[in-house]
Amino acid sequence: MDSAQPTTRRAAVLGRRWGARGQTAQSVRRLLLPAALVLLAAAPAREASALSHASSAAAPPASAVPQAFLGAGPTWGARHLGPAGVAALLHKVQTGELELPKLQVPTVQMPRVSAQGLCNMAAGGVAGAVAAAITCPLEVIKTNLQARANVGSGLHPLSMATRIVREQGAGGLYRGLSLSLMGIIPTRSCYFWAYGASKGALTGTLGDGPVTHMMSAVAAGGLSASVTCPLWMVKTRMQLQGTSLVDTARGIVAQDGVKGLYRGLKASYWGLSEGALQFFMYEQVKRAMKEANDGKDLSTLQYLAAAGGTKGLASIATYPHEVVRTRMREAASQRYRSMFQSIALIAKEEGRRGLYSGLGPHLMRVVPNTAIMFMSFELLSRHLPAMLEERAWEPHVAAAQDRWNHVQRSAAVRMEEVRSSLASVHLDKLGPR
């Protein structure tokens, strides 16, 4: 036992050195555990003789075997690193009594196309389009307030809206809406489909808990951000420069090449933390509200409150990445090259106010936008599968077809009357004078 003390002291010294270099104590123990096992097993001569005696006998003495080693599984820990514990461990390895734990890689089923997945995709696209159309003016105001040229100008949301209307007309508040709809529909369709598919695939392995919700949100956000980044890049430049869609896209490609359409994508990836945080809180709040409702579905107001409140908290916690993404997408954005460099530069030149510039308009937009979008998605995704199963649209389609047929028959009758009237007038003109 005395020979093990220098090894223990050496391990402690190495542990302090690694700790000074920023390593945690847990990492040190993991690194030193194999070496300590080998050193302690080979150190004392008397324990070597005990080992040979133990290997020749049927079993080692009971006093030399810790009780933890006598169980069915390897439940030993750091307290069993003494020579007696190592002897018992080696004996069980030699006799095949020790069952080493097997590493089981969790199996995750790949997402499959299903009716519910298609309903989630359709519901996400429609919900995103409705929310974007309602809150487009707030998005334009927020983007202009985030721009570096307007930071510190003393403009607030109302004065910025007044300036936009004065310079560009009322349509300036809706500039980029068509492109927003072109981007938001595939973005939200992809996002909600990927979230539902990832959640379904991970639930069987990780369970329906916070880890599943956050990982599903990260996967969905990463996929949708990668697919639709060029659309959002062009939309941001359109709102800042007031140019058309084609001219803006041509200008970006001429200046920075095709890769210029993907500026700010890394900042968007940083924004995945916002979606993960929001979905973590949203699922927990929704579950608590459902329990309070005695298992019944949430009402419309509860969906609005849950989605809006969680989005507001997540946005405040992760807002600086929004400012960095907007700066990187500006025309004169060569000074902003990466996330950390941009945050450091903004903090140095503009302080905390620069990192949170436009936070008020941002919350004014994203909170109602998310509340409307999630409420619409929840209602649509809940009712669409039943409508598909019951084919509830068929009576409406049949009624619309009947109305269309009635309109066609009425138009045909009216055209026949007009033709007859014109023919009679023509005959009267050709009659005897």
Give per-residue pLDDT as tens, 206-225: 888 888 999 999 999 998 88
Task: Please tell me what DSSP assigns to residue 156.
Answer: -
Span 59-67, average pLDDT = 42
Determine the pLDDT at residue 148: 57
Domains of the chain: 4-95 (no CATH), 115-391 (1.50.40.10)
What pLDDT, on the 0 to 100 scale, is given for residue 75?
A: 45
CB 366 within 8 A of CB 311: yes
Q: Does the pLDDT of residue 18 top 80, yes or no?
A: no
Residue 384, both tokens = 């669409």
pLDDT of residue 367: 92
- What local confidence, expressed as pLDDT, does residue 28 receive? 39
Least confident among 23-27, 277-281, 328-332, 363-367: 23-27
**230 neighbors 262 (Cβ within 8 angstroms):** yes
Report the C-alpha gap between 195 and 324 in whole angstroms. 26
Selection from 267-271, 275-279, 415-419 with the highest mean pLDDT: 275-279
**pTM of the predicted protein model:** 0.57
d(CA 141, CA 160): 6
pLDDT of residue 66: 41
pLDDT, tens digit, 9 for 90 and up, residues 341-371 = 888 888 888 888 888 887 887 888 889 989 9
Question: Average pLDDT, stretch 410-414?
Answer: 88
What is the tens place of the pLDDT at every residue in 85-125? 666 766 776 676 766 555 555 555 555 667 788 888 899 99
**Percent of the chain whose pLDDT exceeds 90:** 15
Nearest CA to 269 out of 235, 224, 236 is that of 224
Q: Is the pLDDT of residue 319 over 50?
A: yes
Which among 35, 34, 45, 48 is positioned nearest to 91, based on CA atoms?
Answer: 48
Tell me what pLDDT residue 366 has.
87
Q: Which residue has the tokens 């002897």?
A: 87
At 329, the amino acid letter reads R
Report pLDDT for 117. Answer: 82
- CB distance 274 to 314 below 8 Å: yes
Under the banding of pLDDT at 50, 70 and 90, the label for residue 191 is very high
Tokens of 336: 């902003």
Kindly report the average pLDDT of the chain as a whole number.
75
pLDDT at 370: 92
* In contact, 347 and 335? CB cutoff 8 Å: no
More confident residue, 408 or 1: 408
At 424 the pLDDT is 75
Confidence of residue 10 (pLDDT cuts 50, 70, 90): low
| Across 43-48, average pLDDT | 42
Mean pLDDT, residues 410-422: 84
Query: Given a cut of 80, is residue 146 above it in pLDDT?
Result: no
